[in-house]
Structure 1
Amino acid sequence: MTGPDANRGRPHANAGFRRLFDGDGLTVGLGFPLTGVRRETPDPTEELRLAERAEALGFDALWARDVPTYWPRFGDAGGAFDPWALLSHAAARTETIALGTSSVVLPLRHPIHLAKSAATVDRLSDGRVVLGVASGDRDPEYPAFGVDPERRGEMVRDRIAAMRACWSESFPEVDGEWGDLDGDLDVLPKPTTETLPVLPTGNARQSTEWIADHGDGWLFYHLPDETLRSYVAEWRELAGEKPFCIALGVEFADDPAAEPEQLHLGYRAGADWFRDYFGRLESVGVDHVIVGLRGDDPEAAMERFATSVAGEW
């Protein structure tokens, strides 16, 4: 369904959300850094060139991570760039591809700043922002920001409520552990829809019931087949048709018939196996996959996925 009636009862269903979840089949996005450079700062020119190429190849979303600091022990700088600046540049270089965060670490950011940044990129991109949010997982960052990690669950809940109020209300009245808006101030711009789509990531220090009630979908990680099946089944019981998404590492073997080797949060395998695997993901009920491509030639990997895997399940 398209047109005004398509969004009835879905105040979050902007253009990006509809691109990912209004079709009949599984959609696939790519995670920055598209160049695969994770321990230093990638070449921004190359990142944006590959973003354009991803849209041309038919990928449905580009996802930017929120990693404020680089902790070498963790081994991953997350792409180095601030997600809002990166997505704003990607918005200027693309036309219809969804622009997601995977995921903004809510306890390390003020909700007024977040509401403004997300709504700004949403307006600049004609409504393409999909907001993955998380509680964070890098221990040294919490003291660096003066945040008590034991309060992460409360902070996630408070910030989601505050952002929703900033987006959907004029001169909102809302308070939390972050501060107080008493109706004298407004937060501009407003997004293209009444509220932006918010997808909690992992458990985000919440119950699955809370995520089903307060999220517009659920973003999770790669899981073994049977575990994934049980998660999706539970999600459908609690959340109905709200989307279920996963992040997955993909590395192509030279032999298209190669069987899978387990990687961290993903697999190395031949294109034939990945084609079958993505078909299984769709049949289980996964709605969107954020693919983290690995390998020495990222553009060739994008092209191989688009020509040998996508659309064939």
Structure 2
Amino acid sequence: MNRLDQHKGYSRVFKENHLTLGLFFPLESYKGSIPEMNMEKQIKLAKRAEELQFAALFVRDVPLLDPSFGDVGQIYDPWVYLGYIAAHTKNIALGTASIILTLRHPLHVAKAAASVDKLSGERLILGVATGDRPIEFPAFSVDPEQSRILFQEAISVMKKSWAENFPKIQSPRVQMTNGDLLPKPSLSDIPVLVTGHSSQSVKWIAENSNGWLYYPRNLKIQAGLIKNWRSHTDQFKPFGQSLYVDLTEDPNHEPVPIHLGFRIGRNRLIEYLERLKTEGVNHVIINLKYGQRPVEEVIEELGEEVVPHFPALTEKHQTE
């Protein structure tokens, strides 16, 4: 048995042959790079998403405003923000998509992740990545050519520091012969999902992570990616993806492509999600940035009409 099946966040979101839905912060639509981030409204919507049986809420790690990129996510540091959201929710999984491991010291990431996981009651799903904005690497004095090695190092350091007491670690950024990292996760591990390829082979990702997060792709291409992913592991490891959704009032509105997603009616969205499920997608994180309707209406409609087809996994679902 995979011990992460006992992890509250992982088991709420992931199960073989099932698909669940999550939401990206900020829970709003906005033009330009910077959202409004009315915190009272964000917390109210986060709680409502939990009540409506969304499986997870995700934050992004965007260290700097890059004028050429056009989006800073939820603005706040992901660890601080996750702590804030954890204090206002009870059961919904809390995810990162994704922490930039090349720009952060692996022991700091390990401690922050273990802290959020422990304080939230084992609800953290740790999505990780190498980073893709050229301005970030010089700002943090990181050689982008070292991304592949730094990423591998970080995952190894985190897993070892969670699992062992007083681990001995010798790596490019860590020379640890004494001392220990606290707190330890309750399961001595936290689910780590790699985003994109992060400069790695699919085989390496399958062998060294607990799952794979990817971007929206043509269904045929996504099916091929998933088939390749599954071929490298003999145990279930989940595949998730993001999806920008501009939900229309007309429930039968045919999908119109937008950036990494669709302007679409709920019935067509359900059909599309069913096809993703058939191809092996286990979780879809919905981003509402480009929505044209009030976000409260959209979350309510998604929760009442779409989520029941793909609900968060309860103990009943987990044992079926």
Could you say whether these structures have the same fold, taking a TM-score greater than 0.5 normalized by the shorter chain as the test? yes
Which amino acid is the alignment partner of residue 100 of structure 2?
Answer: V
**Identity score, percent:** 41
Partner of 2:218: 224
Aligned length: 305
Partner of 2:296: 299
Calculate the aligned-residue CA RMSD, in Å.
1.5
Match of 2:179 among 185, 203, 213: 185
Q: Is 1:167 aligned to 2:199, yes or no?
A: no
Contact 1:12 1:193 in 2 (8 A): no
Partner of 1:267: 262
Q: Tell me the CA shift for residue 41 of structure 1.
A: 5.3
Distance 1:69 1:12 in 2: 35
Match of 2:306 among 305, 309, 312: 309
Distance 1:267 1:252 in 2: 8
Post-superposition Cα deviations, 1:167-218, rounded to whole Å, max 9, x if no partner, equal 1111111122112111x11111011211111000000100000000001010
Gaps in structure 2 of 5+ consecutive residues:
311-320
Distance 2:144 2:6 in 1: 32
3-state SS of paired residue (1:74) = coil
3-state SS of paired residue (1:131) = strand
Q: Tell me the CA shift for residue 258 of structure 1.
A: 1.1
Contact 1:13 1:197 in 2 (8 A): no
Which amino acid is the alignment partner of residue 280 of structure 1?
Answer: R
Q: Tell me the CA shift for residue 12 of structure 1.
A: 7.6
Partner of 2:318: none
Q: Tell me the CA shift for residue 9 of structure 1.
A: 4.1
3-state SS of paired residue (1:46) = helix
Distance 1:188 1:41 in 2: 35
Q: Tell me the CA shift for residue 10 of structure 1.
A: 2.9
Q: Tell me the CA shift for residue 312 of structure 1.
A: 3.2
Distance 2:306 2:140 in 1: 42
Distance 1:69 1:52 in 2: 28
Contact 1:158 1:177 in 2 (8 A): yes
TM-score normalized with structure 1 length: 0.94
Gaps in structure 1 of 5+ consecutive residues:
1-7
Tell me which moved more, 282-291 or 303-312.
303-312
Partner of 1:117: 112
Distance 1:175 1:128 in 2: 30
Match of 1:54 among 30, 49, 55: 49
Post-superposition Cα deviations, 1:59-104, rounded to whole Å, max 9, x if no partner, equal 0000010001111210001111111111111111111100100000
Distance 2:77 2:223 in 1: 34
Distance 2:65 2:237 in 1: 34
